[in-house]
Amino acid sequence: MTGPVGFVGLGAIGAPMARRLLEWPGGLHVYDVAPKPLAEFARAGATVAASVADLAAAASVVCVMVRDDEQVRDVLDEILGSVADGLVVAIHSTVAPDTPAQLAKRAAERGVTVIDAPVSGSTIGAAAGTLAIMVGGSAEGFAAAEPVLATMGTRVVHAGPIGAGTRMKLARNLVHFVSFTAVAEAQRLAEAAGIDLVDLGAVVRHTDAITGGPGAIMHRDSTAQLLPGDPWTGIFEHVRTLGEKDLGLAVELADSLGVETPLARYALTHLGRALSLPEDTP
């Protein structure tokens, strides 16, 4: 697919994503409600559309990166008011789990294919073109959009039918923000213990780069309880042994300093179950 690409939403992540498409063979058409990014893209060689409808009429694939469900629905309404059969619309915004299927059903009545394609990697990945893009939709929709998506990301995953990309993104971000909450808890403990928080952060980033961080245990294709002969059983038993020892010591330190550590206490109690180990595993 080398036809024109349209991009709606030139915000903090949308703009660097769209910049990756400036050299797209079929040309890039852009639209945003703010004039400043449109002027910047015009200087860079993109075609500035007068409206979402005009952009959709000129494009073969339209990428949408706006703020929320309401804005996504508004953009799709404008698209469906102007397009012919065959357009593919990739929704990059993170929306509610059921929104992609609702939008896809409406769009299909007009011959338009909607895929949900949320991204992970923040502004850094968007600028570098190294985003992870998680796609839900038909095989045909994915195939049509994949060359465009691959220009903006280095890991483009067809997660399943419509909505699967959004569900994968929500699961991925659960890891992200629960980890942030744990970091805040660890920082409070470290601060109370007289530890330099900047040094602690440097150590965490250094070792996560080596071990893979939370993703290091995400290689199984199931969360079913592990059996004695499973190769992962021994590995996770070792993880549990070390984890319970260190979490226990951290809770003990927190108690001595009067610091509340609810996540550490929860993890200490539930680590084995979280790792899918049998309840009687030592």
CA–CA distance, 210 with 213 (Å, rounded to integer): 8
Spell out a b/e string for 197-228, using b for 16 or more CB atoms within 10 Å of the CB, else e.
eeebeeeeeeeeeeeeeeeeeeeeeeeeebee
169 classed as catalytic: yes
> Does an H or E element contain 88, and which?
strand 88-91
| 240-231-204 Cα angle (round to 5) | 45
> Which of 133, 89, 94, 125 shows the shortest CA–CA distance to 16?
125
Catalytic option among 36, 105, 169, 245 = 169
Tokens 């703020």: give the residue: 67
Contacts by residues 191-195 (CB-CB < 8 Å, ≥ 24 positions apart): 192/254, 192/257, 192/258, 192/259, 193/253, 193/257
What number of other Cβ atoms are within 10 A of residue 7's Cβ?
Answer: 32
CA–CA distance, 98 with 164 (Å, rounded to integer): 10
Tokens 């002969």: give the residue: 229
Encoded tokens for 140: 């045909």
Strand bridging mode 131-136 / 119-120: antiparallel
CA–CA distance, 120 with 136 (Å, rounded to integer): 15
Residues involved in catalysis:
169
